[in-house]
Structure 1
């Protein structure tokens, strides 16, 4: 008898099968809805709806999309209770527009569909990683992933970084207003870097990343913002970057992706000023897998960890933390590297913000 046969009950509970099948059908329906949200976001259909109620032909004309396909998409949005329908007219409630149409809204979530789409487009490489050595470097993922991830995180950073997270750190807001030195390690497309540089023009910033395509995009953003005077970018990695002492070192949703987080943290300890702070932004997570049952953030983040974060860490040949790292694990890593203080200073439904000090 094989293991599956040995552990299966002789008579499965029919009611439990029915309940789980129903829950799985709900998840499948939600998956299709997310796909439709992504298509609507990419085509500008939500923006067209946000202009005001209209017929399917009206919405299609605004978005320059095929009228018949647009009607079918709209009917699916009605079925999902996203769009309202009456007298052949479709309307997007203003509250729903804040989530799906207004990209600078604190509640904007439509960008998340792009990350899922990128994972599906990179399916072959992800399958190969699962069947092979587990390795899939960030730069080898589907090219549309990088911009999608940047856009997904932008909402939280725009809402909270300058207004809430930096002020929650010990004296950092004052230091940066007077003139401090900041390193953004794993800066990606430079979104957070530009936000900080615009908010604190008296400080100097360096963005560090090992992905050339992302660095190129970051350079464009810095130039477009006219920040060349106080921002520079360099190719490097967390384990070896130099240039300290810095008043602030930032890891924005990046440290868990690294194959050698221990060395990265130790290097941060060498580069931070004696009175400086390391700001660690990480996905929301519980202290154990048992705590994740039914947790929304865990359900959102674990698949991304399996498909994107963990394969990248394995490709770097080190420890694969995944993106659901318990706070106690982070505290242990930072304490071991010589940081005497580590605490959670802020959080959102999707992120935790930690401060580490020498």
Structure 2
């Protein structure tokens, strides 16, 4: 065996373990409010930070040491103070923006808590149902996508469909498929106040949060349904439907898409957002691909298989996505020219 190659791989394993520990410490920084407390970039001692946050000094000290070792924070040896660079705070302490990365810190521990359940599914089949995941996972999904929905959906993504924008502005109807906690529906309601919007999701907890958010926003033209597409009335039909980061999760993707199409108005459009993964495996050999395959194993694929679904997986790729859309009878299926490092967008006409 090549000893140099052994050493290189050992270093890679330690690197990846370090990444897992960094995400765990990121979880602690988010949950404890430490990132928020350091976002102004002012150098601070561990004692002063513990005093400022009301946290236990020894835990704060070790967290600061660990986050600095990971390269997330900086340390001044002369003064002993720690600080968060502005460029890091841009990603670590910017909840609600389209560049916030905090959702990943909730996602990692939540997903890995089911490692033994997924390992069992390797032997026995089936998978882990969505409702087995904790509140942190629902919050993680919101944090990972919610800022982009708020800042980009109406101002950028919908601009690719000007005729649909006109319909919604004039009181058209929109369907939010797999609505989660309702961020897409509420972004559409804010942008198109005359439109009527229906969101649905099989997860009761998410729908309950969506209803509360709509009530708080005074969005009386938005309704949320706990269920699946067949729980949505066949009439009236919808001018726009959105599937954001959920097609690959479905237990019955072909049947669901066919049902969606049957509820679309003539000339209506479906927009699909999927994780940016390539059809060619070798093109996914990168950090984002690794994250997505992990998400697939620990959530997306396994919860589909748990329902007897096909387990399409997070990285099913554009060819499979467009094949599913065409198979459901949609016409003019194409990729939309939306720039994103992490997602890819498609449109299909009824």
In the other structure, the counterpart of 2:49 is: 59
The reply on whether 1:253 has 2:245 as its aligned counterpart is: yes
Is the counterpart of residue 106 in structure 1 residue 98 in structure 2? yes
Q: Contact conserved, 2:114 with 2:298, CA < 8 A, in 1?
A: no
Question: TM-score w.r.t. structure 2 length?
Answer: 0.94
**Which structure 2 residues correspond to residues 113-132 of structure 1 after superposition, within 5 A?**
113-132=105-124
| Shift in Å, 1:239 | 5.2
1:233 maps to which of 224, 227, 231: 224
Residue of structure 2 aligned with 1:302, choices 290, 293, 307: 293
1:43 aligned residue? 32
Q: Does residue 1:315 correspond to 2:306, yes or no? A: yes
**Match runs of 1:182-261 below 5 Å:** 182-227=174-219, 229-238=220-229, 241-242=232-233, 243-261=235-253
Is the 2:103–2:139 contact (alpha carbons within 8 Å) kept by the matching residues of 1? no
Relative to structure 1, the CA distance from residue 330 to residue 84 in structure 2 (aligned partners, 3 Å threshold; closer, same or farther) is: same
Deviation at 1:34, TM superposition (A): 1.1
262-271 or 341-350: bigger deviation? 341-350
Match of 1:163?
Answer: 155
Within the alignment, does 1:21 sit opposite 2:10 as a pair? yes
Query: Would the aligned equivalents of 1:278 and 1:355 in 2 still touch at CA under 8 Å?
Result: yes
Give the whole-Å Cα distance in 2 for the aligned partners of 1:30 and 1:136.
Answer: 25
SS in 1 for 2:228: coil
Q: 1:164: Cα distance to partner?
A: 1.2
Deviations 1:107-149 (A, max 9, x none): 2102211011111233343333233223221112234322222
| Distance (whole Å) between structure 2 residues aligned to residue 88 and residue 36 of structure 1 | 20
The whole-number CA distance in structure 1 between the counterparts of 2:282 and 2:7 is 24
What do the CA deviations read for 1:47-66 (whole angstroms, capped 9, x no partner)? 11113321112211222211
Structure 1 unmatched ranges of 5 or more: 1-11
How many angstroms apart in 2 are the aligned matches of 1:70 and 1:130?
A: 39
Q: Kindly state the Cα deviation for residue 240 of structure 1 after the two structures are TM-superposed.
A: 5.5
Matches of 2:161 and 2:131 in 1, distance apart?
Answer: 32
**How many angstroms apart in 1 are the aligned matches of 2:240 and 2:51?**
49
Q: CA deviation at 1:244?
A: 4.1
RMSD (CA atoms) = 1.6
Rate the CA distance shift 1:212–1:144 in 2: closer, same or farther, 3 A.
same
Alpha-carbon contact 1:170-1:277 (below 8 Å) kept: no
Q: Deviations over 1:280-335 (max 9, x none)?
A: 11111101222212x23211111110111111111222322111112111111111
CA distance in 2 between partners of 1:214 and 1:129 (Å): 26
Aligned length: 345
